[in-house]
Amino acid sequence: MFGEYPAIKIVAELEQHNLLPAILFRTSRKQCDIDIEKLSGARDLELNAERSKALVLEVEKVVEKYSFEESVVYNHPHYKALLHCGAGAHHAGQLLIWRLLLEELMSRGVMRLMVATGTVAAGVDFPARSVIITAHSKRGAEGFNVLSAAELQQMSGRAGRRGKDAVGFCLVAPSRFADARVVLEVSRRQVEPLTSAYFAAPSTVLNLLKFRNVDDLKYTVSKSLAAFLDRKHAAGMRAEAERMQDEVLSSQKQSVEQKKKSEKRVRRRQREADALEGRQERYLSSALNGLEKLGHLEGASLSAKGYWAAELCTSLVLELAEAIDGGLFYDLSHLELIGLVGSISGDSYRRYFSLSANPIRSELFAELSEHVARVKNTYERIAPFEVEVVPDAALTVITWAQSESWEEFSSLLRLGGVAEGDVARLVTQAADHLNQISKLHATHTELARTASEARRLLLKPPLSEAYLNE
């Protein structure tokens, strides 16, 4: 049995049975890229002259339609594989330009195979005749977990093209990672119930306090889906506690000691229900208390610091506000501001460019870390995500700001084994944070001007502002 079912064999088998075009789902970006590299060298799968010419023509049309940077497309490492066999890798490690190109080509019917990660299945906006599942599980924060019914439905739902196919085909490529019996069992499950991702995050609460008072926020939280679901689950827990209580009262066989234990379980269940029912309101209360500790609130109203900080409509509003209030961002060059903001815009677990000396002084990173730690300690129990200072992220955005072209920059990324998509996301997030700082012209005039110029240095083709707004 295969460790990973070979993409070359999959394409050959599907073509033999007229089941192309197809979407091949893999569990990692690396596997997607490996598939494309192997397909690029498969002589038996080379497109004939007519299909190759049609593909090139459609590529030119897409490039012209969206005004893509030609060098980004034609110099992409997978471009030759695309022309060779009509296959491409679609995952978050690729530039948005490349993913949009592949989506357009797939929709136009000139591609054979799209290799994608299962995590982007919900975002795939094009159908295929067939879908290939190559794993019945995916990696999560705590190891590998079997696919949920919703995840499998998202992937299998791509099979079948409206107006072209009477039926779509979802196939399982057997391997030690893909047990068709497990996939069949998951396909028979009911889709998981809707849950809420709502969270009264401190940054959101601060932004909302520009327009609403505390009572308005409490009302909004009470009417949220999260609060509704909490109340629903709490009611179920109370009903369970009542049943347990009835059993204790009606039981004639339990000893006095057993009844005491049973009544203790009932009381614990009731306390859990009470805690669940008031959870969202407690989150809001914790957010407000933290904002007061950080100096954004005076009583139930925004302080002077809170008013200008509330203009920063970003997930890093608290971290940026602390750095600004502490004077860290004053008297910095454009590149230093880009670097410091970029250092908290990325993810600590991702690889960024690190093959040259970092121009940011270590004491600046240390001071920024203190501001980040202050926010973290204030919201230790309810922080929605972890913010860390990542020096390599700072070096990456500075290197991009100094690069003459994406072609020059991407060659450095390949040397460092850095995914272009991760860097593009880092750059655009840093640019967004700088854009928010640039709105503080009324209270922090010089800083706002520096931030505006720093943002301009980052947003250049293919990450230009005009393209990102499309």
As a three-state string, the secondary structure of 29-79 is HHHHHHHHHHHHCCHHHCCCHHHHHHHHHHHHHHHHHHCCCHHHHHCCCCH
**Is the Cβ–Cβ distance between 354 and 392 less than 8 Å?**
yes
CA distance 209 to 229: 25
CA distance 450 to 99: 33
Q: What is the pLDDT of residue 449?
A: 97
Phi-psi region of 137 (alpha: psi -120 to 50; beta: other; left: phi over 0): beta
CA distance 212 to 225: 20
Q: What is the pLDDT of residue 178?
A: 86
- The three-class DSSP label of residue 102 is helix
Q: What is the DSSP string of 377-428?
A: HHTTTT-SS-----HHHHHHHHHHHH-S-HHHHHHHHHHTT--HHHHHHHHH
Q: Which residues of the chain fall below pLDDT 70? A: 1-4, 119-125, 141-142, 380-385, 465-470
Neighbouring residues of 405: CB distance < 8 A, sequence distance ≥ 6: 71
Superfamily (CATH H level) for 7-187: P-loop containing nucleotide triphosphate hydrolases (3.40.50.300)
Instruction: Work out whether the CA dihedral 455, 461, 465, 468 comes out positive or negative.
Output: negative
Q: Write b or e for each residue in 265-299: b if 16 or more Cβ atoms lie within 10 A of its Cβ, otherwise e.
A: ebeebbebbeebbebbeebbebbbebbbebebbee
Q: What is the pLDDT of residue 374?
A: 95
Question: Residue 107 is encoded by which pair of tokens?
Answer: 């929709």
CA distance 424 to 95: 7
The answer to whether domain 7-187 and domain 311-468 are alike in fold is no
CA distance 10 to 23: 11
Instruction: Work out whether the CA dihedral 329, 334, 339, 342 comes out positive or negative.
Output: positive
Beta-bridge partners for 87: 113
CA distance 352 to 298: 41
Of 328, 350, 327, the C-alpha closest to 417 is 350
Residue 148 corresponds to which amino acid? Answer: S
pLDDT tens digits along 413-439: 999 999 999 999 999 999 999 999 999
Question: Residue 165 is encoded by which pair of tokens?
Answer: 């196919």
CA distance 38 to 5: 12
Beta-bridge partners for 169: 130
Q: What is the CA radius of gyration of the chain?
A: 27
Q: What is the pLDDT of residue 121?
A: 64
- The three-class DSSP label of residue 148 is coil
Residue with tokens 């057993």: 258
Neighbouring residues of 340: CB distance < 8 A, sequence distance ≥ 6: 323, 328, 329, 332, 360, 364, 365, 368, 394
Residue 453 CA, chain-centre distance (Å), reads 28
CA distance 393 to 411: 17
pTM of the model: 0.86
CA distance 340 to 364: 8
pLDDT tens digits along 4-33: 678 999 999 999 999 999 999 998 899 999
Residue 198 CA, chain-centre distance (Å), reads 16
The domain ranges of the chain are 7-187, 202-286, 311-468
Answer yes or no: CATH 1.10.3380.30 is held by domain 311-468: yes
Q: How far from each other are the two terminal CA atoms of the chain, in whole angstroms?
A: 46
CA distance 137 to 154: 14
